[in-house]
Amino acid sequence: MSSAGPEGRKKMRECDGLIDSLVYYIQGAIADHEPNDKATENCVCILHNLSYQLEVELPESYAQSIYIQRRNISTNDRTPGCFGTRSRKVKEKQQDTPLPEEKSNPRGVESLWHSTLIRIYLSLIAKSTRNYTQEASLGALQNLTAGTGPMPFSVAQTVVRKANGLPSIRTMLHVSHPAVKKTAVSLLRNLSRNTSLQNDIAREVLPDLVSILPDYVPGSDTACETTASVCYTLYNLTQSSSHNARLLLNTGGLPKIIAISMNDSNMFSKASKAASVLLYFLWAHTDLHNAYKKADFKKTDFVNTRTTKAYNSLRD
């Protein structure tokens, strides 16, 4: 029922006591050291679905109280792209937006973005061995951090700083289950858009992101999408930081990124395009040119016909 669509989600969010009961059950399972309980998995999957597009589907009464601080952000700037000036301006405005106040005793739909539930998700990620529970917990956090307003900004701050969630998420980068790994990377991609958290994220997980990059363009759609998300996350972490770009160089990331960019016959595959754009912007760190040359990388490795076309296609 929770995956039936917008109307189904709306009805379930409005159902008195439903969300509170789901949260209560999961809290009990964690307290009883039973994170692998099948019913817990089902509860988390429901909450995952109910968190989907929450920012745009919130009832007006909640939206007005939470997003009143957005009055200075123009409508045209509400949806940032991965790259470009407009995206940077939105991020800058986002950092100036005050965080919404949290209620000490949330009820119903308010619980979906509350720090209590965020910590529950992180606890399940760390303690459960059920892939679907891990994926749903990561997916719920991914949904909650997908927007550009105060709520996703606040959730990102809670995940990274207040709840110290990066170690648990980092562990999920190395699991064998493709869907869990893909969702963990997508969550990190969302978190890395928050400029105030980028150095924390780079310090904690950038080497791990480099380690899971393949030495070639993956064949499966899931692997290709995961690789593309890793490249976009690395772009977010390195765009404004020469230190993080140097860390990427020192951890052996450049040969992999060049291979992904160049060794694919279809330059407009998701992975190849993402790697090409990342290379294009890594060259923009002029203070690292000597370091690149010492590591035997040439300008053409970073800026060539393929990378320029990939960059221009995103701008268009």
- Here the CATH number for the domain that contains residue 170 is 1.25.10.10
Q: Is the pLDDT of residue 17 over 90?
A: yes
pLDDT above 60 for 208 = yes
Distance CA 304, CA 308 (A): 6
Radius of gyration of the chain from Cα atoms?
20
Same structural domain for residues 183 and 46? Answer: yes
Do 136 and 245 share a domain, yes or no? no
Domain edge (last residue) among 197, 222, 253: 197
pLDDT of the residue at 176:
95
Residues 152 and 28 in one domain: yes
Domain membership flag for residue 166: yes
Per-residue CA distances from 198 to 87, 141, 188, 204, 284 (Å):
15, 17, 10, 10, 18
- Rounded CA-CA distance 78/86 in Å is 10
Given 150, 171, 197, which residue is the final one in a domain?
197
The pLDDT of residue 18: 97
Assign 123 a pLDDT band (cuts: 50, 70, 90). very high
Q: Are residues 69 and 175 in the same domain?
A: yes
Confidence at residue 292, expressed as pLDDT on a 0 to 100 scale: 96
In this predicted structure, what is the pLDDT of residue 316? 62
Q: What percent of the chain has pLDDT over 70?
A: 83
1 and 108 within one domain: yes
> pLDDT tens, 37-85?
999 999 999 999 999 999 888 766 665 555 444 444 433 443 333 434 3
Do 83 and 174 belong to one domain?
Answer: yes
Q: Which residue has the higher pLDDT, 148 or 301?
A: 301
Instruction: Give me the pLDDT at residue 61, please.
Output: 61
Judgement on whether residues 35 and 92 belong to the same structural domain of the protein: yes
Q: Which of 197, 230, 252 is the last residue of a domain?
A: 197
Residues 173 and 219 in one domain: no
165 phi/psi in degrees, rounded to 5 = -85, -10
Does the residue 31 lie in any domain?
A: yes
- Statement to judge: residues 181 and 221 lie in one domain: no
Q: Is residue 205, in this structure, part of any structural domain at all?
A: no
- How many domains is the chain partitioned into structurally? 2
Are residues 176 and 265 located together in one domain of the fold? no
Q: For the residues 172-179, what does the mean pLDDT come to?
A: 96
Instruction: Give a yes or no: residue 207 inside a domain.
Output: no
Q: Are residues 49 and 146 in the same domain?
A: yes
Residues 252 and 155 in one domain: no
Question: Quick check: is 75 in a domain?
Answer: yes
Please report the DSSP string for the chain in residue order. Answer: -TTS-HHHHHHHHHSTTHHHHHHHHHHHHHHTT-TT-HHHHHHHHHHHHHTTTHHHHS-HHHHHHHHGGGGGS-GGGSS--SSSHHHHHHHHHHHTSPPPPPPSS--GGGGGGSHHHHHHHHHHHHH---HHHHHHHHHHHHHHTSSSSHHHHHHHHIIIIIS--HHHHHHHTT-S-HHHHHHHHHHHHHHTT-GGGHHHHHHHHHHHHHHTS-SS--SSHHHHHHHHHHHHHHHHHHTT-HHHHHHHHHTTHHHHHHHHHHS-S-TTSHHHHHHHHHHHHHTT-GGGHHHHHHTT--HHHHSSHHHHHHHHHHH-
**Confidence class for position 97, pLDDT limits 50, 70, 90:** very low
Mean pLDDT across the stretch 278-304?
95
Average pLDDT, the chain: 86
d(CA 26, CA 136): 13
Kindly tell me if the per-residue pLDDT of 152 is higher than 60.
yes
CA dihedral 288, 291, 293, 299 (to 10 degrees): -20
Does residue 208 sit within a domain? no
The rounded distance, in Å, linking the Cα atoms of 107 and 19 is: 8
Q: What is the domain range of residue 126?
A: 1-197
Is residue 111 domain-resident?
A: yes
Indicate whether 70 belongs to any domain: yes
Lookup: tokens for 244: 């993080």
- pLDDT of 60: 64
Identify the pLDDT of residue 63. 57
